[in-house]
Amino acid sequence: MPTITTKDGVEIFYKDWGSGQPIVFSHGWPLSADDWDNQMLFFRNQGFRVIAHDRRGHGRSSQGDGGHDIAHYAADLAVLTEKLELRNAVHVGHSTGGGEVAAYVARFGEPQGRVAKAVLISAVPPIMVKTPANPGGLPKEVFDGLQAQLQANRAQFYYDLPAGPFYGFNRPNAKVSQGSIWNWWRQGMMGGAKAHYDGIVAFSQTDFTDDLKKITVPTLVMHGDDDQIVPYADSAPLSAKLLKNGTLKTYKGFPHGMCTTEADTINADLLAFIKS
């Protein structure tokens, strides 16, 4: 399997298909590069080079004890882009991957001149948890509860989440895909429990405000207004305002996992933005 090794010895698995302008995909918690299969195939067939990696502790990457935080995620992505000598790249991140993209572009990608554009889909920035500076955020107890469910019965938790709020399958008249549910479960269970446990803190408590303010490349913020995982009102509009060159695109009724449930729409809009 193709891997790169980080400065602290973690092996990061990645996929690298095609040629042309590179598009780099960063997945959400607690999934893997496989969550981008639809987009990888679509953009590969459109003449792009597509790259996706398994974040440390996720999928086929090393399941070490530490480093499960946004700073390490962004630094790992920087190692990958340097190893593959990527330039003029478009970075696309979903959920926690959106936080990873924001941190990478601000701290490494733009300073190194490697990034052309960025896309944040259903992404966790600016910050999810409720704080004095973010009174509209979710109480810390919500995320403590996620950690408790993971520790108590990770396998059941990783079924209930995609079967319910992640894809909006708990909504009336939802068209439920058992294949999508089990594919989510498969990806989640491939990863390490410690990485996923720590990752809940990483995606919920990291404040990306300063990162967003530093980004100057064109950035598209895509978010469904029926997102039950990362609430729309306290994320997407705020991120778009913080970005110097941000564009907000809101999807009525779309869930958190809209890259899967509404792939045709998301792919078309991504392609239009990349070509613009």
- pLDDT, tens digit, 9 for 90 and up, residues 234-261: 899 999 999 999 999 999 999 999 999 9
The beta-strand segments (E) located in 46-104 are 49-53, 89-94
Residue 27 is among the residues annotated as catalytic for this protein: no
Amino acid at 60: R
Residue 256 is among the residues annotated as catalytic for this protein: yes
d(CA 39, CA 94): 12
**How sure is the predictor about 210, in pLDDT bands with cuts at 50, 70 and 90?**
very high
Closest to 16 in 3D by CA, of 28, 29, 25? 25
- pLDDT of the residue at 213: 98
Question: Mean pLDDT, to the nearest integer, of 146-165?
Answer: 98
Choose, from 32, 62, 95, 122, the residue flagged as catalytic: 95
Give the mean pLDDT of the chain.
98
Choose, from 227, 234, 235, 239, the residue flagged as catalytic: 227
- Domains (ranges, CATH) in the chain? 3-275 (3.40.50.1820)
- pLDDT of the residue at 110: 97
**How sure is the predictor about 19, in pLDDT bands with cuts at 50, 70 and 90?**
very high
Number of Cβ within a 10 Å radius of residue 128: 26
Question: Mean pLDDT, to the nearest integer, of 110-119?
Answer: 98
Percentage of residues in the chain with pLDDT exceeding 90? 98
Helices (H) and strands (E) in the chain — how many of each?
A: 10, 8
Closest to 177 in 3D by CA, of 38, 28, 15, 24? 38
- pLDDT of the residue at 103: 98
**How sure is the predictor about 1, in pLDDT bands with cuts at 50, 70 and 90?**
confident
Phi, psi of 139 (to 5 degrees): -60, 145
Residue 122 is among the residues annotated as catalytic for this protein: no
- pLDDT of the residue at 200: 98
d(CA 185, CA 181): 6
**How sure is the predictor about 11, in pLDDT bands with cuts at 50, 70 and 90?**
very high
Question: Mean pLDDT, to the nearest integer, of 203-210?
Answer: 98
Closest to 232 in 3D by CA, of 215, 252, 217, 218? 252
Closest to 44 in 3D by CA, of 18, 25, 22, 20? 18
Percentage of residues in the chain with pLDDT exceeding 70? 100
- pLDDT of the residue at 251: 98
Alpha-carbon dihedral 164, 127, 206, 144, rounded to 10 degrees? -40
Question: Mean pLDDT, to the nearest integer, of 166-185?
Answer: 98
Question: Mean pLDDT, to the nearest integer, of 191-210?
Answer: 98
